[in-house]
Amino acid sequence: MKIHNFSAGPCILPQEVFQEASQAILNYNNSGLSILEISHRSKDFVAVMEEARSISLELLGLQNKGYKAIFLQGGASMQFLMVAYNLLEQKGAYLNTGTWSSKAIKEAKLFGEVNVVKSSEDKNFSYIPKGYMIPTDVDYFHCTSNNTIFGTQMKEFPNTPKPMVCDMSSDIFSRDMDFSKFDLIYAGAQKNMGPAGTTLVIVKESLLGKVTRKIPSMMDYKVHIEKESMFNTPPVYAVYVSLLTMKWLKAQGGIKAIEERNEKKAQLLYSEIDINPLFKGYTAVEDRSIMNATFNLNDESLKEKFDSMCKEAGINGINGHRSVGGYRASMYNALPLESVEVLVDVMSDLERNA
């Protein structure tokens, strides 16, 4: 049976990527060696790292604009800490849109003052706060572009003279915009970019070197940039599979093309949520994420039936996060439209048979 993988992350990657990634474990580039057993200093892997760094900038339209791309470890959680280590001299401004923003705020507080410019915690993060001011005395403004758990997404970003830092873990490479608005972008790989185990950081070099504290080598963006993401052994395989996925995306037509497909998938599912009287969406309509759709049954007694129909249809990974409940369908880049159609069909079937 075909599985429709709506997992929130780690999540579905393109089937072609799995094929090539599997082959590389046995024999990489016809070397007779597995990609897992070659030196990270070998020509073969240095080429992978260089291409991964350059294609990530290319996909975002950020080449030759003063940005550097590095692949680190530790996920977004490590970036909560590294951002503060490298940028927080006095005060950071943070927009609180959910669990991950809250965690970023918590870690930043160890390094300086944090000004939470606005929060949507009052309604369990079911919307994106608007109409906030970014103070002029902060070192930077930090936001989370997409909130995987709650299913909200920032559609607009503020104009601010302060450097803007954005956690794009769950929607990077999914929609087009002017990425040069941002001074630092980071994203754990395990949604649209690759498998768990590496984190992409894209940073404007001019932003760095301004704090007075001493930064440990592994926490220092400048060190990783200078060493071209090879200060120490990088997570070889995670970077390699990320490269395959980014190349796949480029071959699909890049971010603009994938955004159209993502919009189509999201519209299909949200239409059903709105039309079908058995379901209701969790978030404010204008803040709906095109990556993660969160919704609930109006009548919880239908849960068992709906779950079993989903299972029969091969639908996987749509249980909501415990802090929201209900359902969450994650529709990352590699999820085919067909999978959303199957889910929508099941939702309609439930309505007909309920």
User: Structure tokens of 314?
Assistant: 């091969």
Mapped onto helix, strand or coil, the DSSP state of residue 132 is coil
Pairwise CA distance, residues 283 & 320, whole Å: 13
Site membership for a copy of itself, residue 190 (CB under 8 A): yes
The residue within the footprint of a copy of itself, chosen from 21, 185, 200, 315 (CB under 8 A), is 21
Q: Which one of 51, 118, 228, 231 is in contact with a copy of itself (CB under 8 A)? A: 231
d(CA 173, CA 4): 21
Of 2 and 305, which has the nearer Cβ to a copy of itself?
2
User: Counting contacts by CB under 8 A, is residue 230 touching a copy of itself?
Assistant: no
Number of residues near a copy of itself (by CB under 8 A): 61
167 in catalytic set: yes
x-or-dash string of contact with a copy of itself, 256-295, rule CB under 8 A = ----------------------------------------
How far apart are the C-alpha atoms of 253 and 258, rounded to whole Å?
Answer: 7
Would you say 31 or 54 has its CB closer to a copy of itself? 31
Please identify which residue in 49, 69, 76, 331 interacts with a copy of itself, judged by CB under 8 A: 76
Helices 337-353, 303-312: axis angle to 10 degrees equals: 140
Let me know if 264 is a catalytic residue. Answer: no
Strand, helix or coil at 5? strand
Indicate the SS3 state at residue 321. Answer: coil
Angstrom distance (rounded) from CA 204 to CA 211: 15
- Of 191, 220, 248, 265, the active-site residue reads 191
Distance (Å, whole) CA 341 – CA 327: 16
Residues 106-145: x/- map of binding to a copy of itself (CB under 8 A)?
xx--x-----------------------------------
Instruction: Say how far apart CA 223 and CA 290 lie, in whole Å.
Output: 36
Longest dimension (CA), the chain: 65
Q: Catalytic amino acids? A: 100, 167, 191
Q: Which residues bind a copy of itself (CB under 8 A)?
A: 1-3, 5, 7-13, 18-19, 21-23, 25-26, 31-34, 36-40, 73-78, 80-81, 103, 106-107, 110, 188, 190, 195-198, 214, 216-219, 231-238, 241, 316-317
